[in-house]
Structure 1
Amino acid sequence: MTRTTDTARLPLLLTELRLPTVARLWPSIGDTADTEGWPAARTLATLLEHEVAERANRRTARHLADARLPAGKTLDTFDFAATPMVSLARINALAAGDSWLDSGTNILLFGPPGVGKTHLSAALGHALVEAGHRVLFTRTTDLVQQLQTARQELRLAAAIEKLDKYRLLILDDLSYVRKSQAETSVLFELISARYERRSILITANQPFGAWDDIFPDPAMTVAAIDRLVHHAIILEMNTASYRQKTAQARITDITSSADPSPSN
């Protein structure tokens, strides 16, 4: 009778303690423990290990959704053979995060359009989320517009502080920001606020020499570059456009399949 009463109470107790995985698994694991004669400590440890693992999976799923990473762009789908100047071993080391994120080190990813900068940055972000880090992926122009709105509403400092929860902020396509857009100095304020505290990954089509087109004045350009480069890992992807090569290969395949086979 006591055992039956305890069994009936368990679902209520586990719900109260917010242990849904234990509540779901305890009947089957309990039966296994009874059959195999597990000690109580092993049974409890097994149940709690499942609970911890499930919580980690749910947390990762939430953080992946919050990161806004482009779908399908992971390290497994990135063509490292097409970009030999990018070391797979180095990217795998960066994917672990830890030391470079702890020091607020930035990653600057340069290369012409179509070489895979967005794919690689998103893939790295995905790996970091899987490793337990908070990441946000955004087009630089979109974030600049959001920060401009925050400034107009006198909440710029709060908006920048809110981004602190992300250990890595991925700013894609920096080169498309132009100083002709109103108040792009908010980008400089973001860079300054994260300097030596939180990491930024920037993808850009143009090298530093062309960044005068982004910030309102040369002094701000120099100051922004100085803050980004002080603790930075610079990756250059100066290769032919991957999109162009893929399109050309597709055209070649279509042409080949359309050619009639020579008659005997």
Structure 2
Amino acid sequence: MALARLDGRFPRLMDKLARAQLLILDDFATHSLTDQQRFPLLELVEERYQRRSTLITAQVPISAWHDLIGDATVADAILDRIVHNAHRISLEGDSRREQKAAPILTGNEIPEIMAKFSTTGSQNDAIKTVPDLPETPPATCRNQCPTSAKCAILVRLAFMKVASAMWP
């Protein structure tokens, strides 16, 4: 939105967002809002109120949104429009991402994969040896990766693995 404001597209962007049948705000309220974020959100919520559907996902409980929005008056106005007539679905339990996370690769697996790739000359053989990587690497990956260059190789190989599965 900040970029759209700078290059003059902001009014068209707000109009487009206001007219969408379903607007999805994913990971809402992960950080405090600035004035440049707060006021367009109020305008957007006001335009959509009781006219269009808005789906909001958040990891932060609704009770904390007021503080994250910031300005008390604006926060009241936004939350009144969001919460009024809302259908809430609260999920509890462990994260599904944590349950599906693949094991973290160590430095020992990289030479093995690269050796197979260079000796066979076949991308498919190297791709088959790359383990499935999680959609989002766990935070511990940053601490356990020996170098970012080796991580980049694994990411490229994992992408090739996915691409070869999608387009044989």
| Band the TM-score falls in, shorter-chain normalisation | 0.5 to 0.7
CA drift of 1:154 comes to 5.6
Change beyond 3 A, Cα 1:238–1:183 = same
Q: Which residue of 2 aligns with 1:193?
A: 47
Tell me how far apart the structure 2 counterparts of residues 223 and 187 of structure 1 sit (CA, whole Å).
10
Matched, 1:244 2:77: no
CA drift of 1:161 comes to 1.2
The question of whether the paired residues in 2 share the 8 Å contact of 1:191 and 1:228 is answered with yes
Q: Which amino acid aligns with 2:37?
A: T
Change beyond 3 A, Cα 1:220–1:182 = closer
How many aligned residue pairs are there? 102
CA drift of 1:158 comes to 3.0
Query: What is the SS of the residue equivalent to 1:201?
Result: strand
Q: Percent identity?
A: 36
Q: Which residue of 1 aligns with 2:144?
A: none
Change beyond 3 A, Cα 1:151–1:193 = farther
Matches within 5 A, 1:47-196: 146=1, 148-152=2-6, 156-179=10-33, 181=34, 183-185=36-38, 186-196=40-50
Tell me how far apart the structure 1 counterparts of residues 69 and 29 of structure 2 sit (CA, whole Å).
11
Higher helix share: 1
Change beyond 3 A, Cα 1:236–1:194 = same
CA drift of 1:169 comes to 0.6
CA drift of 1:233 comes to 0.9
Q: CA deviation digits over 1:95-129, x for unaligned, max 9? A: xxxxxxxxxxxxxxxxxxxxxxxxxxxxxxxxxxx
What stretches of structure 1 of length at least 5 have no aligned partner? 1-145, 252-264
Residue in structure 2 matching 1:204, options 41, 44, 58: 58
Question: How high is the TM-score relative to the length of structure 1?
Answer: 0.35
Query: What is the SS of the residue equivalent to 1:183?
Result: helix
Change beyond 3 A, Cα 1:216–1:154 = farther
Change beyond 3 A, Cα 1:193–1:165 = closer
Tell me how far apart the structure 2 counterparts of residues 155 and 246 of structure 1 sit (CA, whole Å).
40
Query: What is the SS of the residue equivalent to 2:100?
Result: helix
Tell me how far apart the structure 2 counterparts of residues 241 and 216 of structure 1 sit (CA, whole Å).
28
Matched, 1:222 2:76: yes
Change beyond 3 A, Cα 1:196–1:211 = same
Tell me how far apart the structure 2 counterparts of residues 177 and 157 of structure 1 sit (CA, whole Å).
25
Q: Which residue of 2 aligns with 1:235?
A: 89
Question: How high is the TM-score relative to the length of structure 2?
Answer: 0.52
Query: What is the SS of the residue equivalent to 2:43?
Result: helix
Tell me how far apart the structure 2 counterparts of residues 216 and 151 of structure 1 sit (CA, whole Å).
21
Tell me how far apart the structure 1 counterparts of residues 16 and 100 of structure 2 sit (CA, whole Å).
40
Higher strand share: 1
Change beyond 3 A, Cα 1:228–1:182 = closer
CA drift of 1:173 comes to 0.7
